[in-house]
A and B are shown apart, each in its own frame.
Chain A
Amino acid sequence: MNQDAAELSLASTSSEMASGAQKVYVATQWQLMWWKFRKHRLAMIGGVVTIAIYTVALFAEFFAPFALTTYDSKLLYAPPHPLRLVRRTEDGIRLGLYVNGYKVERNPVSLARTYQVDPAMVYPVRLFVKGWEYEVLGLLPTDLHLLGPVDPDAPMFLLGTDRLGRDLLSRIIFGTRISMSIGLIGVTLSLTLGILLGGISGYYGGVSDMLIQRIIEFLRSMPTIPLWLGLSAALPPNWPPLRVYFGITVILSLIGWTGLARVVRSRFLSLREEDFVMAARLSGSNEMRIILRHMVPSFLSYIIASVTLAIPRMILSETSLSFLGLGLRPPIVSWGVLLQEAQNVRSVATAPWLLLPGIAVVIAVLAINFLGDGLRDAADPYSR
């Protein structure tokens, strides 16, 4: 029925055609995808949140109120306190961002500290405040921060502090950089492996296909976490943090490439028989040109969608490994490393806010999942 309608409108004169329909006929594949993607509301939200998270990761120093090395030895496990706007003083109401200080009391029996927010202590807070110095992307020296106390030593712990009195908000912001980049780098690695092996498997078929398929099946049937644990426990403990970071990424992607390889293979298998590939072959294109010029563009959108869906899995894996202490290690700060502090009930009971990095994980994973779902639907020309 739809087809009839389309033919009818084609048959009628072009002046009668609605301009919208005309636009659809001449739109490129990417434009069609974008239109379809735009209609997917959750995916749009996911996309915006994802971009925001990566922006935070890129400019972590600007967004973090305190440097990683800053700590307040008097305020260990200080609870979160809110940012306030309106202040009542004797001479009326004042507007302006500020936080209250803490009143510390020590329990004489258990020696545990209890914190009370003290309304008498007022520390003004300002947007675009000058604080500790850093270099934007390692290039531009500056000391500008999005939000911070006017007095750099004042306590402003919006999400509380950890066992060394370090600001949790700043640490989560810095953790964003590591956790989100390990997803990207890991996925890039597994994509390379996946396209290479999946491509060989799907394009050539035969023995290599059989072999690669067995490897993929094997890797998929292994329980991954024990395997990851085994491999990462084997990383030498004296490696510098940066090398551990790359080691972990390689381990994660060594097992993670199989899903992508399957997608690539199935696309290759179905495209191999298409007429346009045959035409290209008949007109004498070499294999590299057939693959790169004719086949890859027609499944690029699928690849992008499945890559997007692979990132959250990487993030979750890194978080789990680091949480157990077998992944990244301090001084590197990732969400998993931060959650390691909340490993037992005792510390969670004294400082429940130590679980907050977990919420960052959930938000990031949700956002990227929605984005990936939307991309996948948009990339599928048959979905409505």
Chain B
Amino acid sequence: MLQYMIRRVFYMIPTLIVISVVSFAIIQLPPGDYLTAMVAQLKAQGEYIDDSELVALEARYGLGQPIYVQYLKWISGILLRGDFGHSFQWNRPVSALIWQRLALTMALTLSTLLFTWIVAFPIGIFSAVRQYSLPDYVVTFFGFIGLATPNFLLALVLMWVSFKYLNQSVGGLFSPAYVESPWTIGKVVDLVKHLWIPMIILGTSGTASLIRTMRANMLDEINQPYVTTARAKGLTERTLLLKYPVRVSLIPFVSTVGWVLPSLISGSTIVSVVLSLQTTGPLLYRALTSQDMYLAGSFILMLSVLTIIGTLLSDILLAWLDPRIRYGE
């Protein structure tokens, strides 16, 4: 087990390197470099930047040097000093901007994951046990609709409904009073109060697909001979269900965490833009549209790294839960 974990962590390293290269490539994609853009912007604002400062900045990012030197400078800055570069749109270091946003993104993603499980799980079991009943058809119908509706459309519709009929806005993660305040218990409570709307919006399609999976898994298991044996033994239907087929059908849940996380983070990007949440989405979006590439690149890097770590955790969890996973090659 320990050996498997170590090997799995080891496998992660090349992936992380590739991710950093891709993120750096995205930073480099727009024409011109970041310094010329910054100088042009400062000039446009009528500010003066003196030559020595320019030279210092140039040396710091290795501009004008070969591209791999620039990459090495960038990545070593991140690894050694936590220096993600400079956001010229905000005129602040990137590291000052991203951490809280990343934390909120993770909070949203993880709570959505929990929500998805808590909802999908019983409904999936129920819908399999009562296959072809009216509730099953209703669940299936809504499941398909949920799968086919883009997240942002759901967000828009919900916003419109609450604006029109409840006369309140659903955007944001905090009440105005708490947006800039330091973290207190009150702020956390406020966050929880606001979190559920984006959670539902974000979780719908995931829930729908998990219900489908759970239902299919249960249907595969429920007619197995061992279930009949258990029934013949005289177990009550509830104990029997929970003890055998449900446990087997759960395995795919854990194994898909690794894929659910990337899609949740993906989805949260767009939903947050629509609902203007204080997560990474809107900031990344603004950084991209204004070509504030160090900020954008850092976000893409950090989101990908967090996803990879999530995948790693789910793999280890799976190996721990399911002894059939082979530790060796």
> Which residue numbers of A lie inside 8 Å of B, CB to CB?
214, 217-218, 220-227, 229-231, 233-234, 236, 312, 316, 319-320, 323-326, 339, 342-343, 345, 348-349, 352, 355, 358, 361-362, 365-366, 369-370
Contacts and interface: CB of A to CB of B under 8 A. Distances in A.
A218 B160 contact: no
B307 A221 contact: yes
Task: Classify chain B's interface size.
Answer: 35 or more
Contacts of B26: 227, 230-231, 234
A38 B76 CA distance: 60
Given A233-B289, A369-B144, A369-B147, A345 B169 contact: yes
Contacts of B273: 324
A222 B304 contact: yes
A339 B147 CA distance: 19
B121 interface: no
A320 B272 CA distance: 13
Contact of B153 (A217, A225, A352, A358): A358
B280 to A, nearest CB: 8
A259 to B, nearest CB: 11
Q: Which of A222, A343, A362, A369 has the most CB of B within 10 A?
A: A222
A366 B237 CA distance: 35
A227 B300 contact: yes
Given A230-B26, A361-B153, 10 more contacts: A214-B14, A223-B266, A223-B307, A230-B288, A342-B156, A352-B160, A355-B153, A358-B153, A358-B157, A366-B145
Given A221-B307, A222-B304, A225-B267, A345 B14 contact: no
B139 to A, nearest CB: 15
Contacts of A358: 149-150, 153, 156-157
A324 B22 CA distance: 22
A362 B149 contact: yes
B159 A233 contact: no
Contacts of B262: 220-224
Nearest to A220: B259
Interface in B268-288: 269-270, 273-274, 284-285, 288
Nearest to A230: B26
Q: Chain B contact residues: over half helix, strand or loop, or mixed? A: helix
A223 B288 contact: no
Nearest to A236: B31
B265 A223 contact: yes
Given A221-B308, A222-B262, A226-B299, A316 B18 contact: no
A243 B303 CA distance: 29
B258 interface: yes
B244 interface: no
Contacts of A324: 270, 273, 285
A229 B150 CA distance: 16
Interface of B: 14-15, 18-19, 22, 26, 29-31, 144-145, 147-153, 156-157, 159-160, 163-164, 169, 171, 258-259, 262-263, 265-267, 269-270, 273-274, 284-285, 288-289, 291, 296-297, 299-300, 303-304, 307-308, 311
A312 B150 CA distance: 11
B303 A223 contact: yes
Contacts of A230: 26, 29, 288, 296-297, 300
B163 A349 contact: yes
Given A230-B300, A234-B26, A222 B307 contact: yes
Contacts of B291: 233
A323 B270 contact: yes
B311 A221 contact: yes
Contacts of A326: 285, 288-289
A49 to B, nearest CB: 12
B289 A325 contact: yes
Nearest to B262: A223
A233 B293 CA distance: 10
Contacts of B18: 218
Nearest to A235: B29
Contacts of B303: 223, 226
B19 A229 contact: no
Contacts of B284: 226, 229
Nearest to B205: A316
The 9 closest A-B pairs by CB, nearest first: A234-B29, A225-B266, A233-B288, A365-B148, A223-B265, A230-B26, A358-B153, A366-B148, A223-B262
Nearest to A370: B144
A234 B288 CA distance: 8
A214 B30 CA distance: 28
Contacts of B144: 366, 369-370
B259 A312 contact: no
A355 B164 CA distance: 14
Nearest to B147: A369
A343 B153 CA distance: 10
Contact of B150 (A316, A348, A366): A316
Q: Which of B156, B160, B164, B285 has the most CB of A within 10 A?
A: B156
Q: Which of A221, A319, A369 has the most CB of B within 10 A?
A: A221
5 contacts: A221-B307, A230-B29, A231-B29, A320-B152, A323-B152
Nearest to A364: B148
A358 B288 CA distance: 25
Contacts of B288: 229-230, 233, 326
Contact of A218 (B15, B164, B171, B274): B15
Nearest to A217: B15
Nearest to B11: A214
Contacts of A312: 148
A74 B311 CA distance: 55
